[in-house]
Amino acid sequence: MKTKYLLLLLLMLVGHIVVQAQLDEDRFELLEEQLDRFSKQETNLNKKIDISALGTVSEIIMAVAQQTKLNITIDPQLKQAVDSNFSKVKIKDLLLYLCRQYDLDLAFSGSIITVFPHKKELPVPKEKELAKYNAFSNKLSLDAKAEPLDKLLRSITRSTGQNVVASKKAQQLAVSVFVEKAEVEDALGLLARANELQLSKTDEGAFYLALKEEEVDPILAKNKNAKNRLSMGAGVDYQAIQNLSMLVTTDSFSQEQYLDIEAIDIPLLDLIQAVSIELGQNYFLFEEGGANRGRGQQRGRNNNSRQQNGTASNPAISMKLSQATYSEFLDYILTGTSFTYKLSEGIYLIGDREQEGLRTAKVVQLQNRSAQEIEKVIPSDLQERVDIQPFLELNAVLLSGAAPEVAEIEAFLQSIDKLVPVVNIELIILDVQRSLINESNLEMGLGESPASDQATLTPGVSFSFGAETINRLLNTLAGRGIVNLGRVVPNFYVSMGAVEDAGLIKTKSRPQLSTLNSHEATFTVGETRYYQETRTTVQGVQGTVTQQDINFKSVQANFTIGIRPQVSGDEQITVDITVSQSDFTGETQIGAPPAQYSRTFESALRVRNGEMIVLGGLSTKRKEESAKGAPFLARIPLLNLLGSRKKTKSDSELLIFIKPTIVY
């Protein structure tokens, strides 16, 4: 095991040395370029000198500066000893040698060169990422080992945007935790449990961590001591309302009041009035028939003027609620009823949802989504009693209706107003086309004058023979008794040839596309050709008039790729890919539309963020043969050699490299 560790350490050391050597070499190349540019201004740097160097580096450089009239300043720290002899060396080469040998650096200012020791920049250690937050999935990951709690909480706050604080005693506590992709509150709960801390949440939504032995912070504590009870309803005998008990407590720090209540089969409006008076809240209750009531307008309880079991417009309520504010009490008790409330200038207005003056309007500004056509996303049952208008200038939505319905739609909009990831798509499109053409011809005929012998070896092979050469060949054949074909006329000639043409075309492009999650990105490149369309119109009966219209119509051959990425919560990307390619096949008749062929490919793949995938198999092979010769003779074997023949083979292959990367 020790041998493995030593080997690993040795490999790391060698790697560090190699990297450092490469950095030094890059620095010296830069110095050489700077000296070359500076020597065009100060030509004395190109002078050659003979110098016997014996002394310190600063003394040698000073002697060179005095001899060549160069402006050189030297750092007094340069005291390395030099014992060398230089002959016919350029001054700039000498300075570069000294920089290499004694680890020096140069700075240039106007006509002045400054020589000083090179200061190696120590690599700044990358701070460990203690908290990692995925805004898309709302998941938090923690990785800390014996880290100060306040340092971890700062990292959590910066990454999530949630305020997380600790008590003064807990801030310097060394904590350890490892949590992978948990909800923010769950991750903080695990952090507290693993390090014997207590976690609380303030009314403002911030999280508070403290040692278990610490007393609860007064901001978070609710003083349930009955001695602090405020008797705001003094003088009102609620004992007459059967099955109703209330206890009011107050926060000793914020003076916020909290209600504990138990009620069984109590009419809704009576219950609201009792709680409002007990908490000392200013309210105005709209009732049917105009019998409106406000704070202080109380009806006697002992005479049981309101029935205990409620009515259709004033249903009976049974409930148990602890540590609720007045607004929370109204939210709970009015849910599912036809009543709502509105706070106006410190007065709670309570009545029917359609009551004039109880409707509310609110502007909800969106951060990550477009307000245009946002109403199509909101469920229809939420829109029944709320008027929804997009406010495009502010990228907001204007909601108008009863407060509970408005609050419900606002909560829904906030739940879907998430950060939408942008996917950057890097494409590498490689189109390889290969072709091979073989042509051969054999031609005979009579020229205007006697032909001479000719031969060509490149490009292609061709031979041309005149009558004299052909007659010698015929005489040889006749003299050996093979065949006697006679002689040809002086202007007769024979020409034959063969040529092979091979081609290779590689087309490479690297477009980059960006699109929102689940939106398609399209890349198209192509060629447009035009053909002529003629239309002739004949008009008239006796004296006809002919009118001819000529139009030019276009035909496109395109390469199109469409990519639709879909990002999942674990940053996997599902990619729907559509590839379509069309091309012109060759020449057509004059006036006819160009002939085309097309290829289409569709696929769905799943890749990790930043991985590259390759699409292949989009290949085409084509083979053509053509011949020219005399009519009828071109169809007879052997005689069809008299003429020209052409064979064409071509194939093409399309490769597409796709690399999607998530960018928030």
**What are the tens digits of pLDDT across the range 318-330?**
888 888 888 888 8
Residue whose structure tokens are 């990519």? 563
Mean pLDDT on 27-52: 82
- At residue 641 the predicted structure's pLDDT band, cuts being 50, 70 and 90, is low
pLDDT value of position 424: 92
pLDDT value of position 71: 83
Q: Which tokens belong to 44?
A: 């004395």
Q: For residue range 473-527, what is the model confidence (pLDDT) as tens digits?
A: 778 777 776 767 777 788 888 888 888 887 777 666 788 888 988 889 998 888 8
Q: For residue range 361-398, what is the model confidence (pLDDT) as tens digits?
A: 888 988 888 888 888 888 888 888 888 889 888 899 99
- At residue 23 the predicted structure's pLDDT band, cuts being 50, 70 and 90, is low
Q: What is the DSSP letter of 387?
A: E
Cα(161)–Cα(181) distance, integer angstroms? 16
Cα(404)–Cα(385) distance, integer angstroms? 10
Cα(255)–Cα(257) distance, integer angstroms? 6
Residues whose CB falls within 8 Å of the CB of residue 412, separated by 6 or more in sequence, listed in order: 378, 379, 382
Residue whose structure tokens are 């309880």? 301
Q: Which tokens belong to 394?
A: 């502010």
Contact by Cβ (8 Å): 193, 237: no
Instruction: List domains and CATH numbers for the chain.
Output: 1-117 (3.55.50.30), 131-211 (3.55.50.30), 241-287+315-352 (3.55.50.30), 360-418 (3.30.1370.120), 441-500 (no CATH)
pLDDT value of position 125: 56
- Lowest average pLDDT, out of 101-105, 128-132, 214-218, 414-418, goes to 214-218
pLDDT value of position 232: 34
- C-beta neighbour count of 333 within 10 angstroms: 21
Burial label, 476 (beta-carbon count in 10 A; 0-12, 13-18, 19+): exposed
Pairwise pLDDT comparison (455 vs 637), residue with the higher score: 455
Pairwise pLDDT comparison (15 vs 95), residue with the higher score: 95
Cα(89)–Cα(91) distance, integer angstroms? 6
pTM of the model: 0.47
Residue 303 has pLDDT above 50, yes or no: no
Pairwise pLDDT comparison (646 vs 237), residue with the higher score: 646
- At residue 565 the predicted structure's pLDDT band, cuts being 50, 70 and 90, is very high
Mean pLDDT on 114-119: 82
Pairwise pLDDT comparison (467 vs 387), residue with the higher score: 387
pLDDT value of position 299: 35
pLDDT value of position 408: 85
pLDDT value of position 634: 61
- At residue 11 the predicted structure's pLDDT band, cuts being 50, 70 and 90, is low
Report the phi/psi class of residue 133: left, alpha or beta, with left for phi > 0 and alpha for psi in -120 to 50: beta
pLDDT value of position 588: 61
Contact by Cβ (8 Å): 399, 388: yes
pLDDT value of position 231: 34
Q: Give the burial string for 604-641 (b: 16+ CB within 10 Å, else e).
A: eeebeeeeebebeebeeeeeeeeeebeeeeeeeeeeeb
Mean pLDDT on 559-567: 90
Cα(106)–Cα(74) distance, integer angstroms? 10
Residue 633 has pLDDT above 80, yes or no: no
Checking 595-599 for CB contacts under 8 A at 24+ apart, the result is 596/555, 596/557, 599/654
Contact by Cβ (8 Å): 534, 591: yes
Cα(181)–Cα(190) distance, integer angstroms? 12
What is the pLDDT of the chain when averaged over all its residues? Answer: 77
pLDDT value of position 254: 63
Tell me the percentage of the chain whose pLDDT exceeds 70: 80
Most confident of the following: 75-84, 137-146, 525-534: 137-146
Which of 320, 349, 343 shows the shortest CA–CA distance to 333? 320
Mean pLDDT on 568-575: 86
Cα(358)–Cα(555) distance, integer angstroms? 64
pLDDT value of position 290: 45
pLDDT value of position 564: 93
- Residue 436 pairs in a beta bridge with 502, 649
Residue 131 has pLDDT above 70, yes or no: yes
Pairwise pLDDT comparison (612 vs 455), residue with the higher score: 612
Pairwise pLDDT comparison (170 vs 290), residue with the higher score: 170
Residue 117 has pLDDT above 70, yes or no: yes
pLDDT value of position 53: 65
